[in-house]
Structure 1
């Protein structure tokens, strides 16, 4: 099987990466002999080289899995590896045209999962080497020695960096096993999520672990790692599998191209943020770190130019009239890919050299920190008066970038509908933009700044995320728009439209979308969040904060969509039942708010109670004020929902009346004629009895109600 993989192209990537990191270390002197505790040249030079190979193996793993999730064409009748191929390629293409109406090769799909498993296995082995070399570098100990093993065990068991590196190794091993076991896009998606866990752990190391702007550094580094991994790994996987792609080369490269464009945008945005944090000012570009950063920027620009070139001039010529490879274009594509792989290797090497070089802005902890800096990692903001709500920002790069991307994608879908002549209400687009702006402000603006130090502001932030923004999102009908705008596929792979249908129709989504379940989730999760350790987890850990934002926004959307949404929802109740659900929610908010208002026990006292605020109410008074917000201000969105439900009820009655009027104009008033006939029969019946059929046909009977 390996003979059918184009492995030399991986060599281009690895050699370029190693060469770049060696040159970068020579320029920066980061691998020079330290004054104290020299671990030896093997460790000083081996660790950066190993880190480069680890990053490339991780990228190949995640990139291969992304190709399996939604890029490569797939045939459902193919197993992990084709056993007996047809006699000729033409016979194979003809057979598949007859069954699917399109040319689908499908041989690369099972191979890409095998490639992902092999890459994850290499990632695991290299991570073990990285772990050992990292300890030797930190301890200043050469490899070996009678106590080296016990010291390494102590490093892994009790030191944060050691535990993180061990966690990455374990996750990489699990990813390898899962990738080799699965054979479907769903299985590949689970393996990709597992690989993302390792990147989350990796984002906690390096310069991102510094005390200054910790959350921003970690989130921007994670965005950078994911964007680079999918970009580099996806292209490398296509290059390795090009001999198996056959007629699938056109669709595969065309689908990968927009993914690469998004990855380029993610890498560029996160790179700018990281550069601003590490360089500090323009003067910092004159340092060795700044020179390496400039080199990385130049290489990224060259990568973007190469990608733009084959996106505009090569991809349209890849597929001929019969679905086969167009002559000449394929060779140009793979030459450009080889150039990109070299550039990507150079970028990866320079990135590792940057991580090994001291930046102009040091990551040293703040000297003589204030109580707020000790607890939250940030200086205490000024008192929230006047325009402070709009001028104080603490950017969450992941959520802000996600909101911006969501607006861009939604608008592109709307424009796609309009280009083909379909209408989409402008109010829905405005509603979506408003919802995303609210989420971005709640997670990066004044609510995010003060929600970290004031419980009352945190409660406002919670209400915006769980009750206000979901109203705008549900009225925007994003699922309906996606199903109308996204094209379907006929090659058994899952594109965006297929994934939307898979998620919407899954048993979990169907269960969580049930009105009673959505309401219970909305209510119970709030109690569980504030009266367990989850609240403190969201305050102290960025991952917990992200989980809080995503959970309550999705829970709010599911609840609102069951009441007033346009998107599909199972068993949407009648309007009276919807109003009852709203009344129950209002009662819960009153109970929850009164509980906080009357409570005398401070939630997370070693956070809100030790910030050293010299302005505003005491921590307990502020918490009681948050209860009033949950009860009072939180009812405003509920009342708005009740008004929308009532208006929808009225419009529904009007639509039913109009349908009946049209039926009467077309067929006559059949129900009234039958009713008059029944009255006539009753008048003739001396006993005055009506039959069961007469009662059923009366305007008050079942027929009339229908």
Structure 2
């Protein structure tokens, strides 16, 4: 099959969502909003869903092309020794260059469609036709409205990803462009109905999971179809790698879609009795068909790819692309259709609307241990991390490689604490009581990272993951690249880590960042992710054993530990002695008829933060001492082995030197 034919098949997949949007628009699913709102005109009503469909498809194609170039295609191989720094550096292959060039074009389309969608969205909300006033108001919309900010962030991310892709000459820059492209997809999840619904945290997280999975899956298949004629004999290997990746993406899409459906359609009758439910049912049908096609692809067609004549693969891939395109079109229509719980969201009590869930019962000794609200993001992430760690340990044991059980217990304990802090009582009451927020914060920032670092996850991953031999970069190769990158060296600098660890406390609690994390789910996710990462970097410097930049001497680490937590205690005292209430407007807006006053709860929270910093100090200190003793023991053993090999030549040379000094001194005395 020729390249022109392949491009035509991909084009058919691209046209499918536009056809789906047009059909649904004609059927009235995308009609102008009712309730007396002004009509922005047919251009805005018709152009907004089309711009959204083009944006989503261009985003998927950008992400898929970059992921394919970064992780699936054969690469340049390792650096060649004996060459100069510039000549010996890894460079992209011609095929990777071509793929990133196409990704840059797709990113330009993504950015353009997002900007056009911004104009249409503002005109739709304002109820006015497009004009000069719409363009003039765009900066105001992007800076002062959540919807505008989300679309603006996505446009900025896609623009940066496209610029990096266009100028990428090394795998490192390609990897950065890929991460930027995936990150630019995430804000699109904030533009749907999920942010205004009951259990909006679950809805937003489900949508983020869904969009990332769809983008990698749809875009990856499109990229593989475009590149199939250029891959030659590498098609079978590349398609096999994509098949594994597509399986993970299918799971993400299915999980995100199921979670979103449960949130938006709590009544089963709404599935067939509402337009929203019918479109969602259509998406589920398409997803099922794609799962069957993927199973057939993996079981029947992959083993035949090494045989000349690959028409079956092209036809099936084109069919999958058309189904995926139809699913994207249905998703756009779904975003423009009012869900069944839209009216319910407008009648929710003020506190329920703010929290996204009803006010929990009074905090007691019982509810501290029994309160439970599964976190839609951190619970599956922590669970997946624990499962992957156990699978890696099992793989090592099958290869007769010993792995300390204490490290396994430490990592699982860290995952368990992460689940308890986000899904247990700290997660349930963290937005209601400042004291429980502090419990969650200190657990995430100090205790969880300490146990995760003691589990040495990078070491066990590097030992368990398979290595690639064709120059491409899989999980193991990218992990090694990240560990040895200049960014890792920068973030492993003790002074920078301490500045981040301590400066984050001051910046978070003495700025509006605390209230932002309480009022918005995105702010809450950023807060937890930031403190988890900074805490991990700090614990890794103190007692980590994973490969990476050289750590400072043990005595210096001990000094860092003492100074850091001494400042932490001083920070707690400063909060305790202050008279201002933190995030007062947020906590005062909650209708909490139980528990302590705001001032008493804040005092309790500060005291808890002080106390909860003690046991991580003890854990890190003990781990540091054990590491110190172990390093000294290894050094002594190394010295003993060297002495056995050379007959203790170093000690003999030292004694000879002392004897010479002694004779020199005696000779000087005799002359005097």
The residue number in structure 2 matching 1:127 is 114
Instruction: Tell me the residue number matched to 1:64.
Output: 65
Range with bigger deviation, 452-461 or 29-38: 29-38
Q: 1:677 to 1:35 in 2, by over 3 A?
A: closer
| 1:462 lines up with 2:441 in the alignment | yes
Q: Distance in 1 between matches of 2:97 and 2:661?
A: 76
1:248 paired residue number:
234
Q: Name the structure 2 match of 1:100.
A: none
Moved more, 205-214 or 635-644: 205-214
State the shift of 1:651 in Å: 4.1
d(CA) in 2 for partners of 1:675, 1:151:
84
Q: How many angstroms does 1:635 deviate by?
A: 0.8
Work out whether 1:332 is the aligned partner of 2:312.
yes
* Counterpart for residue 434 of structure 1: 413
Q: How many angstroms does 1:673 deviate by?
A: 7.9
Choose from 325, 342, 367 the match for 1:362: 342
Match of 2:212 in 1: 226
Counterpart secondary structure, 1:379: coil
How do 1:83-482 and structure 2 match up within 5 A?
Answer: 106-135=93-122, 137-138=124-125, 148-151=131-134, 153-154=136-137, 157-158=140-141, 160=145, 161-162=147-148, 164-165=150-151, 168-169=154-155, 171-287=157-273, 288-318=275-305, 325-328=306-309, 330-362=310-342, 365-367=345-347, 369-370=349-350, 372-373=351-352, 376-482=355-461
Pick closer, same or farther for the CA change 1:679–1:426 going to 2, 3 Å.
Answer: closer
Q: Check conservation: 1:477, 1:565, Cα contact below 8 A.
A: yes
Note the C-alpha offset of 1:42: 5.3
Tell me, in whole angstroms, the C-alpha distance in 2 between the residues paired with 1:129 and 1:347: 22
Q: Which residue of 1 aligns with 2:578?
A: 599
Q: How many residues are paired up?
A: 651
Alignment correspondent of 1:13: 13
CA pair 344-281 structure 1, distance change in 2 beyond 3 A: same
For 2:565 and 2:281, how far apart are their aligned partners in 1?
A: 56
Query: Counterpart of 2:527?
Result: 548
Q: TM-score, normalised by structure 1?
A: 0.82
Taking the aligned partners of 1:623 and 1:42, their CA distance within structure 2 comes to: 53
**Offset at residue 274 of structure 1 (A):** 0.6
Deviation at 1:625, TM superposition (A): 1.6
Q: Is the 8 A contact 2:198 2:353 kept in 1?
A: no
Q: TM-score, normalised by structure 2?
A: 0.86
What SS does structure 2 have at the residue aligned with 1:6? helix
The Cα of 1:467 is off from its aligned counterpart by: 1.3
- Residue by residue over 1:500-547, the C-alpha shift from the partner in whole angstroms, topping out at 9 and shown as x without a partner, is 222212223213223454344323322232223332332233333222
In structure 2, distance between residues paired with 1:255 and 1:591: 52
- The alpha-carbon deviation at position 574 of structure 1 amounts to 3.8
Report the Cα offset of residue 310 of structure 1. 2.2
Tell me the CA shift for residue 347 of structure 1: 1.3
Q: Contact (CA 8 Å) 1:431, 1:473: kept in 2 or not? A: yes
Conservation of the 8 A alpha-carbon contact between 2:430 and 2:437:
yes
How big is the alpha-carbon RMSD for the aligned residues of Structure 1 and Structure 2? Answer: 3.5
Q: CA deviation at 1:407?
A: 2.7
What is the match of residue 563 of structure 2?
584
The question of whether the paired residues in 1 share the 8 Å contact of 2:12 and 2:322 is answered with yes
Q: Secondary structure at the match of 2:377?
A: helix
| Aligned counterparts of 1:663 and 1:351: Cα–Cα separation in 2 | 68
**Structure 1 residues 663 and 138: alpha-carbon distance in aligned structure 2, compared to 1, 3 A threshold:** closer
Q: Write out per-residue CA displacement over residues 184-212 of structure 1, whole angstroms, 9 at most, x where no aligned residue.
A: 33333333344345423322212123142
Secondary structure at the counterpart of residue 190 of structure 2: coil
More moved, 516-525 vs 502-511:
516-525
Segments of structure 2 that go 5 or more residues without pairing to the other structure are 79-90
Give CA deviations for 1:564-604 in whole Å, capped at 9, x if unaligned.
Answer: 22212534344443333322233223212222222222122
User: Is the 1:407–1:436 contact (alpha carbons within 8 Å) kept by the matching residues of 2?
Assistant: yes
**Which of 1 and 2 has greater Rg?**
1
Q: 1:652 to 1:122 in 2, by over 3 A?
A: closer
Distance in 1, matches of 2:488 and 2:608, equals 31
Contact kept in structure 2, 1:113 and 1:183, CA below 8 Å: no
CA shift, 1:331, in A, is: 2.7
